[in-house]
Structure 1
């Protein structure tokens, strides 16, 4: 599980962001802090992979923590979550390696996109001997994945079926299950899972996991905003 620390001085915002973290598969809340100093204490005593960092904190600029984290070579990543939309804050965040920047207010879908992109990066960087193609996907994830889905489909995914799946996805509203997509496409669930995993890796689909009474995980999917734009562009080309 990817361990997340929230540094946010508004208790209500911290609570809701914590609830958001718990809803995204593969992430777990390691703790919350309302001050930079309290955040450092958690970093010293717990495993933390990712910080959700506010900029405007009481008597402190949250970006100072980002700068200090980089200077200390601490192996933790940061997503800035703030109402700060000034050029200086954004440039500082980028220069010191923030992996994303969410401007308040934002919806859960955008929050989930940020975490899923981070998970994609996190998983790939655990590998030994990463290849150039994988690095290209990490560094050019937004555009590179779109080109790959359109022009260079992986083994086991055919262009005809891929377009068919995209066409049915375009007609689905909100969250859907593999079973629901299988019903409208006429494709078996086993075959569909390959397409769903691929689309999730490309940030076209969001994935939400809940647990039934039996304890079995139930996967639900939904087009991301990026996915909506991508599907429309592909369908327009194939009319």
Structure 2
């Protein structure tokens, strides 16, 4: 069983993320923390295999927590889960050794993919007495492909077409559909999948009347 510590300043969000972990076979939540200090303390006490770490904490930045964990005795693996989208924070998480960076809000499937990826790495490394180059290549090359884990009815070829279209800039589902020569319903399915898996962001543009327009852009 892979043990997980969930760190988030929002009690309800921490509960949701803990529920996501609990739904995933082979994983168990051993604790939750709502401050950076509690996160560091609980890692020392509980020695989790994995930490889901928020960046916006009330007492210290999540990147400082990440650095503290890297200098500690336990040194668990970390997946950053945050609403922070600035490049400096992403770069800081990468340099701090985070395995992945999930942007809130995300769905269970997005976190599930990363937990399964972590389980693959964890199992592979645990089984190795020593690592040859082929073993290292397998471990470091085991990240999920962009088109992996597509919901039923979606194809990798069309996913890449939609992604290529979205590289032109922010657009609505209707604009993307027109540019990619797809139906609006089909384009929106791919766009919402990209949002759910962290490959794209969405914002609402409000007009004078009616429902707000959803605008998509690649992460």
Provide the TM-score with structure 2 as the length reference: 0.65
**Which shifted more, 85-94 or 36-45?**
36-45
**Which shifted more, 34-43 or 46-55?**
34-43
Quote the residue 1:103 is aligned against. 103
Deviation string, structure 1 residues 114-155 (Cα, Å, up to 9, x no partner): 111111111111121233222112212248x89xxxxxxxxx
Return the alpha-carbon distance in structure 2 between the equivalents of residues 72 and 224 of structure 1. 40
Return the alpha-carbon distance in structure 2 between the equivalents of residues 228 and 131 of structure 1. 35
Q: How far off its partner does 1:34 sit?
A: 0.4
Quote the residue 1:38 is aligned against. 38
Task: Pick the structure with more helix per residue.
Answer: 1
1:136 equivalent to 2:63? Answer no
Question: Alpha carbons of 1:28 and 1:88: their partners in 2 closer, same or farther (altered >3 Å)?
Answer: same
Q: How far off its partner does 1:82 sit?
A: 0.2
Write out aligned runs for 1:1-239 (5 A): 1-72=1-72, 74-126=74-126, 127-142=128-143, 204=148, 223=150, 228-229=155-156
Return the alpha-carbon distance in structure 1 between the equivalents of residues 40 and 82 of structure 2. 19
Deviation string, structure 1 residues 164-211 (Cα, Å, up to 9, x no partner): xxxxxxxxxxxxxxxxxxxxxxxxxxxxxxxxxxxxxxx945xxxxxx
Return the alpha-carbon distance in structure 2 between the equivalents of residues 75 and 224 of structure 1. 35
Q: How far off its partner does 1:109 sit?
A: 1.0
Question: Alpha carbons of 1:81 and 1:228: their partners in 2 closer, same or farther (altered >3 Å)?
Answer: farther
Q: How far off its partner does 1:71 sit?
A: 2.5
Return the alpha-carbon distance in structure 2 between the equivalents of residues 108 and 73 of structure 1. 31
Question: Alpha carbons of 1:61 and 1:137: their partners in 2 closer, same or farther (altered >3 Å)?
Answer: same
Return the alpha-carbon distance in structure 2 between the equivalents of residues 11 and 49 of structure 1. 22
Provide the TM-score with structure 1 as the length reference: 0.60
| Structure 1 unaligned spans of 5+ | 147-202, 206-222, 234-239
| Structure 2 unaligned spans of 5+ | 161-219
Give the superposed CA RMSD: 2.6
Return the alpha-carbon distance in structure 2 between the equivalents of residues 231 and 133 of structure 1. 32
